[in-house]
Amino acid sequence: MMRTTLYIMLSLLMLLSATSCEEFLNRDPEDKISNDGLFKDMTGVKYALAGAYNSLADNDYYRKNFILNAELKGGNVKFSSNIVEMYMDRYRDTYNFNHSPNDERTSYYFYRHLYEVLNMANNVIANTPDAKGGTQAEKDHVLGEARTIRALAHFDLVRLFARRYDYTNNAQHPGIVIVRQSPDVFDQPERSTVYETYRFIVDDLKQAINLLENSPSKDKGDLWISAATAKAILARVYLYKEDWNNAIDMATQVIQNNNYNLVPHQQYVEKFTQDQPSQEDIWMLDNSYELAEALSKFIGVPGNADKTQMSVSKDLLNLYEQEDVRQELFTTYENDTVCRKYQAENNIESNIPMVRLPEMYLIRAEASARIGEPIQARSDLDKIRKRANPDAPFPNLTGQELIDQIILEKRKELALEGHLFYELKRLGRDINRTDCNATRNQNLTYPDYRYVMPIPKDEMDYNQNMIQNEGYK
């Protein structure tokens, strides 16, 4: 088996076939081109950028496992009574918080794949400036997209493999290996601190915003990264590092963008189930190119699959009031409760919601409450609550009670979109799963070491400078 670090160094850019307005996506997915040939002109650069987008929609990333990791561990999802042994075996350790450095499934594949994503993004960043053809604006837009992808992958790695930001004073505990450029195969990189990791992520996103704002692309829609996408992700990053004022600023800039508006109450379910970006989708990940069912088969409405493999837990379902329109997104399929956010038809998966406008309102609400501005916090919370239930009472709350209601609303609004466990970890909260059929570690008390995944053994063996996470040595 090839070492994880070698996967980071030697991964090839795969080019996808996808339905899109851009001709360069219409390419046989088996085609592979050497870097020298690929990056000689802007046509090749755009192919490479498409490959980076494709890598985000991998089964070991946002297409399935990164989202399932958040929802199983957080308690929004449980195993179905119909789950087959193959999938039970695949997800048992995730559900049970039973990871090991020797695990060649969950932590290994996350680690390997996310560094492959970084390698792809770095190849685009390094080679775009010298590529022939194209305007400077076109090159800047590509660089902005690639920097956003690179920042997102670093952010997700630090959420998986490191403690939350304020675990130590000034975040001086181990973070991840930052990959600023495609490294040499003989490199033995050290882990940066969490402080250094977040500083790099923030800088990447700031540069991406500048590049994307100064090179707007009219022929790209919400399946592509825009300046608003980078700002929204940066708002999320600021929230995780408890930089409340900057979180408010970034979220506000997105909220004030006239291209986005909350979907009205009456259209909420319709917009979610039509699989086209709505006016509140800041970025959706194109999932139409892959002829296989993913999240729909596990927590959604499958097309050709006879059974679903997981079921929405009562822990989540019981949070919704009877008048809440979001209840209509849940339905029964083969005696399991599934979510209509993910559906398949003719083996084609629905697109994946990456960033939605309601998250920006809830980020601003929480950050405002944290700095003692309850008026703004209550207003933003009320907007999301009343969109779901027009008769919901105004949240006339203050202090921790207000913060708790914002966190609760976020769980309901962003349910099954890959947030819950990472949010609980960010907040330093215990894991309490009641409707849960895990066989061990049903509940965890923060800061149990299992909140962090182990560095895979292959990486530890190959890299003498690598430090293992506590509890796994």
- CA pair distance 144, 273, nearest whole angstrom: 30
Token pair of 416 as six digits? 């099954």
Domain count of the fold of the chain: 1
Does residue 7 register a pLDDT over 50? Answer: no
Cross-strand partners of 284: 353
Contact of 291 with 57, CB cutoff 8 Å:
no
Q: What is the pLDDT of residue 429?
A: 98
225 within domain boundaries: yes
- CA pair distance 38, 184, nearest whole angstrom: 20
Q: What is the pLDDT of residue 3?
A: 36
Cross-strand partners of 116: none
Q: What is the pLDDT of residue 176?
A: 98
Sign (positive or negative) of CA dihedral 94, 411, 349, 29 = negative
pLDDT category at 55 given cuts 50, 70, 90 is: very high
473 within domain boundaries: no
Residue of 19, 18, 17, 12 lying closest to 28 (CA atoms):
17
244 within domain boundaries: yes
pLDDT category at 280 given cuts 50, 70, 90 is: very high
Average pLDDT over residues 328-339: 94
Give Cβ neighbours of residue 421 (< 8 Å, ≥ 6 apart). Answer: 69, 70, 71, 72, 73, 74, 431
241 within domain boundaries: yes
Does residue 31 register a pLDDT over 60? Answer: no
Q: What is the pLDDT of residue 281?
A: 97
Is pTM beyond 0.85 here?
yes
Q: What is the pLDDT of residue 216?
A: 78
Query: 104 or 445: which carries more pLDDT confidence?
Result: 445
- CATH number for the domain that contains residue 74: 1.25.40.390
Average pLDDT over residues 232-251: 98
244-255 and 227-240 are packed helices; what angle lies between their axes, rounded to 10 degrees?
150
In tens, the pLDDT along 286-314 reads 987 766 778 999 999 988 766 889 999 99
379 within domain boundaries: no
Q: What is the DSSP string of 351-389?
A: PEEEEEHHHHHHHHHHHHHHTT-HHHHHHHHHHHHHHH-
pLDDT category at 9 given cuts 50, 70, 90 is: very low
439 within domain boundaries: yes
Q: Is the peptide bond before 447 cis (omega within 30 degrees of 0)?
A: yes
Q: What is the DSSP string of 121-169?
A: HHHHHHHGGG-BSS-HHHHHHHHHHHHHHHHHHHHHHHHHHS--GGGSG
Mean of all residue pLDDT scores within the chain: 90
326 within domain boundaries: no
Which residue range forms the structural domain that includes residue 141?
A: 4-258+425-462
Does residue 174 register a pLDDT over 60? Answer: yes
Q: What is the pLDDT of residue 218?
A: 64
Does residue 18 register a pLDDT over 60? Answer: no
Does residue 347 register a pLDDT over 60? Answer: yes
Name the DSSP class of 327: G
Average pLDDT over residues 126-130: 96
285 within domain boundaries: no
